[in-house]
Structure 1
């Protein structure tokens, strides 16, 4: 074989090798966007892949992001997230959750010997939140541990500056905020029989919903006739791009609707 023929043969073998890998990932390309978890950039072994407008990550990277366990045996890959097991059949493309087929289950993707899994679908199966930030060109994930972060606090535990803020707003009906400190103030009441009670905290899509009940005097009970200003103090560290909404537990409408808030 002359030199020219040898070069053509070698080039042909390289093209066949490239085609074999690409055939399994037709239409995929390297994802240049970053991936963050609770505001921190995720450390990835390999870059994510954009396939059919969906972000796929190396299975081992997905396990690290979700604090899960990934195992691969033959043509079956398993991702154990909390109490759930998500299984990927690499030869057939079938996907099951806890041994049952699920509607909308998204198959894994092969790139050579590496297995990539669909990030959004997997994150949602794990009960976490994921969103695309176009300004930062980032895929942002909020872990489930960040959801229930609303905590009522004793005013005595606050700093002197925070206590001064509470003192300045507790008599004004509304929701008052200073940093991660919130003061829920009912306003002037004729006696101590009136109050406030947080009944439920619920994480919705990019929103933390706090349900507050306006408690009423107990029928037949005698109260000292002294003006009071019922209020609650709480702290909450919201995940990136999340907002907090206070809702009247009895009406399911915004708390103190129609009044001035966020002083």
Structure 2
């Protein structure tokens, strides 16, 4: 195993926009550290990926650097190399010394959805397990999903309300690289307007195609 001392190794890689993953690891500029280099291979879901066209090297935008090194029994690898292959975009704000991760910019794919409650189609039939699951959450504030045989069901409930004027509606469902977003519009009573004084349970239930991606609920105006 070959050892070498690297001066500001992390800072140099950040400058080259490689960005090393180092949770809980912070060194001031110009700090020297001893590291060990050891050949490693990278796989994602069983498929091997190469950091560059040079063996065990990563190109940080300016030069080739080791694709990994070991410091205090922890292996460090270029964050950009791994993150971009998982569908994320890496950014570095030099002024704030901040590394950011976000999904790669991509055109959102609109997903079809069917509103099952409030009833939109007299022909719609909700399977008993789905209906029971939905009913069990209508008296509380809740967002969640349940897999059915014919699709994925998403419920948004607002719990018990003292009068009319409260509502909830799914206005769109979009698919991104790593997740599905259910866009939800909430309405509340308007000041000064009269509403029926009756207990209500605003809720909605929609069905979307099966997906293995994580489902997020996002409030929109």
TM range (shorter): 0.3 to 0.5
Quick one: higher RCO (CA 8 Å, sep 6+), 1 or 2? 2
**TM value normalised by structure 1:** 0.37
Give the structure with the higher percent helix. Answer: 1
Return the structure number with greater strand share.
2
Structure number with greater Rg is 1
Q: TM-score, normalised by structure 2?
A: 0.43
